[in-house]
Amino acid sequence: MFRTAMLFFLSLLAFAGNSVINRYALLTQHIDPNTFVAVRIVSGAVAMLVIWYTVKVVATSRQAKRQQPAVTEAISNVARRGTWWGAFTLALYAVAFSLAYNQLETGFGALILFASVQLSMLAVGWVQGNKLTAKEALGSSLALLGLIYLVYPTLGVPSSLWACVAMVTAGTAWGLYSLHGRGSASPLTDTTFNFVRATPVVVLLVIWQYGDIVISPQGLVLAVCSGVVTSGLGYAIWYLVLPQLKVSTAAIGQLSVPLIAAVGGVVFAREIITQQLVVAALLIVGGMLIVIRKPTKPLK
């Protein structure tokens, strides 16, 4: 239980870091959205391949004392690793997120994204037979209310309807990617080859949306950090913990990401702890605790 909770928290921490890195890189114009996505996915794929090879191939080879057969077998089975559906939803999320995030106010973008993630996961889970209990519905509602309260001061009229649609698309794609990961038997392998498979998809989408390329050394570093650490490793941890979570728990956890980012601002940027942050934290964490508790009868 403790291990699951720690992995769950680490994955959410990675998601919060990803949001901060993405927004900072794009708002400071260190890199354009298309190039950021391309570098993020490609660097993530390369890094995860190195990690996968080290963990799965070299370790297995040494244990069996027959390195070449193990390498040959691993390479020959690449086609069966990851899925095109996982790769497509990953690529769609990354592209839509980067294109929309810097065109929306911080609060509005976060609200659309994480509400879309939660609703898409709960809706698909409902269709698959994972119906919400009364306590889960209450907890999810409280957490969503907490998110709205957290971002309310920065809410405004969206300047771009297209950006709103793109953010809903990103949230839905991430929700579907997460649900797909609940069936993963090998999180590291599936994450690695989802990134590998997503690379040509992202390249095609970037070419289709081709514009002026803007990139600085700092922008490159930020994109690589996003791809390797907060995306590659973070998503591998997410796929590792997902099979151990209920759909409702995984969905409501997404609503805590903006809260984690806000708490990070207090810890690392010495931002002030406001009454609004405390109330939002109580609502979100309280909602999560309600959902985690043993469910009662499902809603009809």
* Token pair for 174: 């991430």
Residue 78 pLDDT greater than 60, yes or no = no
Alpha carbon of residue 159 to chain centroid: 25
Distance CA 136, CA 294 (A): 9
Average confidence (pLDDT) over 91-98:
88
Query: What pLDDT band is residue 231 in, cutting at 50, 70 and 90?
Result: very high
**How many Cβ atoms from other residues are within 10 Å of residue 299's Cβ?**
11
- pLDDT band of residue 296 (cuts 50, 70, 90) is low
Does 27 reside within a domain? yes
Q: Is it the case that residue 247 has pLDDT exceeding 80?
A: yes
Least confident range of 170-179, 215-224, 253-262, 290-299? 290-299
Confidence of residue 142 (pLDDT cuts 50, 70, 90): very high
Residue 203 belongs to what domain range?
2-292
The answer to whether residue 26 is domain-embedded is: yes
Specify the pLDDT at position 27: 83
Question: How many CB atoms sit inside 10 A of residue 230's CB?
Answer: 23
Q: How confident is the model at residue 99 (pLDDT cuts 50, 70, 90)?
A: confident
The single-letter DSSP state of residue 30 is S
Judged by DSSP in three states, 132 sits in: coil
Question: Does residue 297 form part of some domain?
Answer: no
Residue 36 lies in a domain: yes
Query: Does residue 151 lie within any of the structural domains?
Result: yes
Q: What is the mean pLDDT of residues 71-79?
A: 54
Evaluate if residue 26 carries a pLDDT over 90: no
153-157, 263-267, 273-277, range with the lowest pLDDT: 153-157
Residue 300 lies in a domain: no
Taking alpha carbons only, the member of 70, 50, 71, 44 closest to residue 235 is 44
- Residue 124, pLDDT > 80, answer yes
In a domain, residue 145? The reply is yes
The average pLDDT across 108-134 equals: 90
Computed over every residue of the chain, the mean pLDDT equals 85
Largest CA distance in the chain: 63
CA distance 123 to 100: 23
Take residue 125 and report the two structure tokens written for it.
């889970």
Average pLDDT estimate for 42-71: 74
Specify the number of domains making up the chain.
Answer: 1
Indicate if the alpha-carbon torsion angle 54, 178, 248, 184 is positive or negative.
Answer: negative
Range among 128-137, 156-165, 221-230 rated most confident: 221-230
**Is 298 inside any structural domain?**
no
pLDDT at 101: 74
Cβ atoms within 10 Å of 282's Cβ, excluding its own:
13
Position 94 pLDDT exceeds 80: yes
